[in-house]
Structure 1
């Protein structure tokens, strides 16, 4: 059976955790916000160390993300699998690569709405490492913490 999905929607598969969170970012300029998102600055503002293969998001780009939790650094390599660019929406999705604690995809999407620019983060994943599996609620908590940081990242970036 084929499954055609809309951006940021995944089938409900056993063992996968799927979520979608969004917020107004307090900016009306989609172009400026898109510049920050598509140049990885949102990820940096969320407190992640980034090592991208391209300066701006492109199909097939690889980014190695690192998150420090105390003395531990969690590494999370990803590849861009979808890029969205139209008049009212800009964003991308990446899929996890070998070495990422989770297996799945994550979406970052800016949308112009009548209320302003909305930033959405959505993901569908399952633990792929032993540490992530035994971490259970802690792993889920870290994922929610990082998502909250992404959603607040525009608060830390200068308006352009």
Structure 2
């Protein structure tokens, strides 16, 4: 089993500030209302459908997010696999009103860090989706990309949120 590429494993769980020395992302948006919306989005998040819906090819050692499961996403354009993105799930959240997980980077990932995907329903039925991440470049091309790399991460985060909104339409 490969080691994580960063020492702060589990830091996206909450309660503590994200680690220094990384680029931080935290985006939280209301994506709908009601228990059926919450349940559909939670299912989409923990079964990797969220990632598939933004165009990534996903292979995982488990059908659902589970601590220790390895997941490799690939950015594919036509017949070409452009980017291999290996990660391992570091924690899972499975509560009546909150669900999600975080995964951390493994060797071969262009970044070092962790990202979490959490959906929750509040007391009045509003459904919220939050993406939290800390990362820094690991691969030479990610370091070379500088601000472009951060823009791509921001774009991916926006796509995850848009995908979470649209999951209910496909279930």
TM-score by length of 1: 0.87
Aligned partner of 2:47 among 39, 51, 60: 39
Q: How many residues align?
A: 156
Aligned partner of 1:130 among 136, 140, 147: 140
- Root-mean-square deviation (Å): 2.2
- How far 1:11 moved relative to its partner? 3.4
Instruction: Please list, as runs of the form range in 1=range in 2, the aligned pairs for 1:1-160 lying within 5 A after superposition.
Output: 7-8=13-14, 10-14=17-21, 16-29=22-35, 30-68=38-76, 73-113=82-122, 114=124, 116-157=126-167, 158=169, 160=171
Change in 2 beyond 3 A, CA 1:96/1:83:
same
Cα distance per residue 1:10-38 (max 9 Å; x no partner): 43412x10110011112422222211111
Distance 1:64 1:6 in 2: 20
Distance 1:47 1:72 in 2: 12
Distance 2:60 2:20 in 1: 30
Change in 2 beyond 3 A, CA 1:72/1:110:
same
Give yes or no for contact 2:68–2:88 (8 Å, CA) kept in 1. Answer: yes
Give yes or no for contact 1:51–1:63 (8 Å, CA) kept in 2. Answer: yes
- How far 1:87 moved relative to its partner? 2.0
Cα distance per residue 1:55-103 (max 9 Å; x no partner): 1111111110112469671211000001011121101000000000000
Change in 2 beyond 3 A, CA 1:137/1:5:
closer
- Which sections of structure 1, spanning at least 5 residues, go unmatched? none
**Which stretch has the larger CA shift, 20-29 or 50-59?**
20-29
TM-score by length of 2: 0.82
